[in-house]
Every structure is written in structure tokens, then in C-alpha cells.
Amino acid sequence: MKPSVISALCLGLLSATAAKAAETGSQAFSTSRIAQTAGQYGHYIGSDVRSMDPLGSLGGNAGYNNTGSGNIGAFNSGTGNVGAFNGNNNTSSTSGNHNIGAFNGNGNTGEYDGNANVGAFNGNFNGGSFNGNSNVGAFNGNFNGRGNR
């Protein structure tokens, strides 16, 4: 074979290899760019989630139609009630707090009434102070101290 033919073949082979390398390189660049962009958006989203206070706009409540703070469930008021219909319609902020269950710590007119009950229908409608607290079960600590009605 003539040296010029060999040179032409080598030059053609080198050109084809270089073209293929350039194509592969651009694909690799494109793929790494996509991964980098996706990672960047993932970082942004993660930062947003970490900086959020998901319950902040709800006053620290989770559930449905809760007021007060730190309540979980539905229709709870006061502070730290878990369940449903706890801590509603109390005249003192020291009443109807930290109940677990349903219908606990409602309708108290005294202070420190209807707190820390577990179960159902505990610590309701007390008129004095320190009534209807820390009951476990059902229908405990209701209608105490109603003297001045």
C-alpha cells in the first residue's frame, strides 16, 4: 500500500474517533448538567421545607377547626388537647388544657378546672376552682363547685 493511502486511512480513522469522542463528551456534559440542575432544585426544595414551620400559620394546631395552641384532632380549644371537642367554652385560660380523648374540659367557669383528663366526658361544667382534673375513664369530674349559678 502506498504511504499516502495509509496516511489517508489513519487520518480518516482519527477524524471518526475524534467526532465520536466529541459526541460522547457533549452527551456526558448534558447528562451531568441535568443531574446538577436537578440536584440544585432538590437542594432549594429541601431548604424551603426545612425553613418552613408547617403548623405555624395554624397556631401550632394539627387537625380540623382547632383554636388555641398545640391541639391535635378536631374542634379543640385551649392548649395541648388531643382528640375531639376538648377545652371549649372555658372562661379561664387555666381550664380545659392537656386533655386526651373526647368531650373533656369544656364549659368550666372557674380556674384550673378540667385539665389533664384522659377518656371521655371528664372535667366538664365546673364552677369552682381546681375541679375535674386528672380523671381517667368516662364521666368523671363533671358539674362540681356550681354554688353560685
What does 25-88 look like in DSSP terms, one character per residue? HHHHHHHHHHHHHHHHHHHHHHHHHHH--TTGGGTT-EEES--SBS-EEES--SBS-EEES-S-
Distance from C-alpha of 132 to C-alpha of 113, rounded to nearest angstrom: 6
pTM here is 0.61
What's the pLDDT at 63?
Answer: 87
What's the pLDDT at 145?
Answer: 84
What's the pLDDT at 15?
Answer: 57
* Residue 1 in grid coordinates: 500500500
What's the pLDDT at 60?
Answer: 79
Reduce the DSSP state of residue 136 to 3 states and report it.
strand
The series of mean pLDDT values per 10 residues for the chain, 149 residues long, is 55 54 53 61 54 56 90 93 96 96 96 95 95 94 74
What's the pLDDT at 149?
Answer: 42
What's the pLDDT at 62?
Answer: 87
CB atoms within 10 A of CB 94: 17
What's the pLDDT at 25?
Answer: 52
